[in-house]
Amino acid sequence: MTRVMMMFFVALTMALAVPAIAAEPSSEYRESFNDGWLFHNGEAPGAEASDFDDSQWRPQDLPHDWAIEGPFDIKYNARCGGLPFHGTGWYRKTFDTPAGSKGKAVLVTFDGAMYDAHVWVNGQFVGNRPYGYIEFQFDISKYLNDEGANTIAVRLTPEDLSSRWYPGAGIYRNVWIDVRNPVRVDQWGTFVTTPQVTDQAATVSVETTLTGDLTGADVQVKYEVFDPNGKVVATSTKPAAEKTSTQLTVNDPMRWDIESPHLYRLKTTVLSGEETLDVVQSRFGIRTLEFSKDKGFALNGKHTRIQGVCLHHDNGPLGAIVNRRAIERKLQIMKQMGVNSVRTSHNPPSNELLDLCDEMGILVQVEAFDVWMKAKVPNGYNKFFEEWAERDIKDMVRRDRNHPSVFMWSIGNEILEQASKEDGNRIAKQLNDYVKSLDTTRPTTCGFNWYPGPYATGMAGQVDIAGMNYKPLAYGDPVNAYLPNNPVVGSETSSCTSSRGVYHLPIEKYQTHESKQVTSYDIIGPPWAYPPDIEFDALEKHPEILGEYVWTGFDYLGEPTPYGGKDNNTNGYWNEDWPSRSSYFGAVDLCGFPKDRFYLYQSQWTEEPMVHVLPHWNWENTGHDTIPVIAYSNCDEVELFVNGESAGRRIKGKDLTKIPVKFNRYEKDHLMSKYRMSWDVPFAPGSLRVVGYLDGKPVAEKEIKTAGAPARVKLTPDREELAADGSDLSYVTVRIEDAEGNFCPLASNLVRFTVDGAGTIAAVGNGNAATTAPFIANQREAFNGLCMLIIKSAKHAGEITIRAESDGLQADHASIDAK
């Protein structure tokens, strides 16, 4: 074993700890800087000056994504969502010099701005940061007036073809202002590990980086560890230095894991005599990680298969803006599917996502880049890589390295340097070394898709874990021949595409369909893609593989494969199949409605008995007399009842279903899947009911009925109480039903919304990837019977009343309390 691999396996036995919410702020000093901004979309020469006339600019609180407002237009690139995200946007804010800030540091922190942010204060240039996904902070103390008003101006210049998906535009993540003493904990200055963990005790090792002049000062650093119940369980005080270290012992530690994500808190206090100079609160968790070439991954000593999904950063109809509730809901839906891990494809995530994963027990692979030096699109990150890559990836690690949810670092995805032995090896080693210089407690990885190129050249060996994109046929001996020591993970898998509620007959493999939709029989994908069943089978045969990250958990804006264009086509626009402008890859659509594929994964990834049946049962006058019926279940057997009569039982794993398969390097044209149970059923209006059995006993069932004509609208808020904070959300499902209350699976009625009281419409949607209807509106057509209304609370308490109307249908209303 090489020295690098020995260090890697030693390091992986360490458990980790986590920084505080919102990138380790000093909770006693930090305040939100989101409110009271002005926004202008377009050029504004001289807007950095304090005396610039911004009286015609519009008020805009943050976070904000200017492009999601639209309009959709064919002149924009569908691969990037068909929205106007590029151009120039300006933000300005007038604020008073904070009281008591004389002689102190006034810090402004941007969690992310898209992109190439330039910042001025009182007309003086402060600095810039190109990468839209990275957090950055400026000390603006020397630019402030001694007292009275100040002006901060931010210019963003996102470019066309800067991304392969929808990046959003604007200051789309949170902004903060801190007033801190000159001697203080530095940004991301607390690093906590637990190098020794047993059931009896855990060693908590802390390294604190201070900034400011410590010469001749009698400064000490006091550490206090609080358990998940808020009780102090360990303390230590050390003389301050630029780097101050200590070790504490926590007895009877409560581990952070997927089922019970226990979180501890470290309070770091910087003292000068009796005076408190700084206080930083840092959440952390105690847990161990082990990765083995032969045995896979173990969390706290327990073998754990990665049941992961790739997620882009957008929040569907809300655009790229960060919203804690939107992210929480997304993760809740993923957990219902059985997901235990997320890959942040293909960029550093928001603080909110990592905080929520800490709290919810979801493992995270944090990814740095989609591109290095070689361009995938003309204006991608490659323009900034040489100057900024080291700082960006190191800042990513510093910010995120204490989150217990973070268990892998990815240095890149499908990098074009895979084709170059010299460049690929050199840059991969360089990025890997940057990560290891700051954190040796987690492995590095990279998503490779050009098998066997980067394996044969040694590039894949520059990271600890080989990420294989869409290569299940190479698991085992083929990849082991190149990498005999490195663990392997399916870093992108399946890439199956579908549209919720769409079923094309007969079942056949096709590239595109005239409807601009994709069948939900879960068989269609681009040339590299394959049905989920292929990956399930490969992972069963190779238990040493760590697991998989499905492409993708949710649909996302942009990249409407299989419509529009070819991936990594540098100068290509994807508008040939307009209005297709959003992803079809998700197991869940853009609004959060599960597709059938959601239940296929649930049948493999969950233990609570479940059964699902497809398609819908409204086939009158379609010309299809016999309908293929499919069931997904984690039960031993499933029985289908058609209009009350049994159509027979199917035994999972024994009664196989033939599905068409065609993808790169696959020699057959089909798979006999043991993960689907099927029947060919003559259509007759009525009902389909499936019953799942374990040990011969019925434990789960689902029924769908033939619906009559649409008769009414039904509103169902996911939350009936919101925080009156101006950002909390309720997702209201809007369902079209017949007179008997049956779901109408083909309905496309236009629904109009009226909202009054202590809330507003944040956005609307329906999951249709091929429509130019705006997200910021007060109406939406149903897509296959469903649409979504997203309500945002106001900053005052009260009742929010909602009314939904549609021509010819019975209206509905709902109420939500903002408290």
Residues 689-727 pLDDT 10s: 999 999 999 999 999 999 999 999 999 999 999 999 999
Q: What whole-number distance in Å separates Cα of residue 684 and Cα of residue 8?
A: 61
Q: What pLDDT does residue 565 have?
A: 80
DSSP single-letter state for residue 497: B
Q: What pLDDT does residue 448 have?
A: 97
pLDDT band with cut points at 50, 70 and 90 for residue 381: very high
pLDDT band with cut points at 50, 70 and 90 for residue 150: very high
Q: What amino acid is encoded at 497 in this protein?
A: T
Q: Is the pLDDT of residue 20 over 60?
A: no
Average pLDDT (481-498) is 97
CATH number of 712-818: 2.60.40.10
Q: What pLDDT does residue 568 have?
A: 64
Q: What whole-number distance in Å separates Cα of residue 559 and Cα of residue 168?
A: 14
**Candidates 2.60.120.260, 3.30.930.10, 1.10.760.10, 3.40.640.10; correct CATH number of 35-173?**
2.60.120.260
Q: What pLDDT does residue 571 have?
A: 61
**Contact residues for 113 (Cβ-Cβ < 8 A; gap 6+):** 129, 132, 154, 156, 170, 171, 172, 173
**Strand partners of residue 783:** 786
Going by C-alpha positions, the residue among 629, 610, 635, 616 that lies closest to residue 702 is: 610
Is 492 one of the annotated active-site residues of the chain?
yes
Q: Is the pLDDT of residue 19 over 80?
A: no
Which region among 326-335, 563-572, 645-654 has the lowest average model confidence (pLDDT)?
563-572
Q: What pLDDT does residue 215 have?
A: 87
Average pLDDT (96-107) is 93
Q: What amino acid is encoded at 607 in this protein?
A: E
| Within this chain, domains 183-284 and 712-818 share the same CATH topology | yes
Which residue among 48, 367, 414, 535 is the active-site one? 414
Q: Which fold has domain 183-284?
A: Immunoglobulin-like (2.60.40)
* pTM score: 0.95
Is 544 one of the annotated active-site residues of the chain?
no
Task: Locate the domains of the chain by residue range.
Answer: 35-173, 183-284, 305-495+527-562+586-605, 611-705, 712-818
Tokens of 148: 């009275």
Q: What amino acid is encoded at 2 in this protein?
A: T
Q: What pLDDT does residue 10 have?
A: 30
**Architecture of 305-495+527-562+586-605 per CATH?**
Alpha-Beta Barrel (3.20)
Q: What whole-number distance in Å separates Cα of residue 729 and Cα of residue 316?
A: 14
Average pLDDT (665-679) is 95
Q: What pLDDT does residue 21 have?
A: 34
Angstrom distances, CA of residue 58 to CA of 53, 54, 75: 12, 9, 26
Q: What whole-number distance in Å separates Cα of residue 532 and Cα of residue 393?
A: 32
Tokens of 435: 């990560």
Q: Is the pLDDT of residue 437 over 80?
A: yes
Q: What pLDDT does residue 217 have?
A: 81
Q: Which fold has domain 611-705?
A: Immunoglobulin-like (2.60.40)
- Tell the residue number behind the tokens 């377009």, with chain if given: 42
Q: What pLDDT does residue 569 have?
A: 60
Which residue among 367, 492, 559, 637 is the active-site one? 492
pLDDT band with cut points at 50, 70 and 90 for residue 2: very low
> Residue 259 CB: number of other CB atoms within 10 A?
9
- In the chain, the percentage of residues whose pLDDT exceeds 70 is 96
Which 3 state secondary structure label does DSSP give 344?
Answer: strand
Q: What pLDDT does residue 513 have?
A: 96
The H or E element containing residue 56 is none
Residues 548-602 pLDDT 10s: 999 999 999 999 999 988 766 656 789 999 999 999 999 999 999 999 999 999 9
Q: What whole-number distance in Å separates Cα of residue 86 and Cα of residue 645?
A: 58
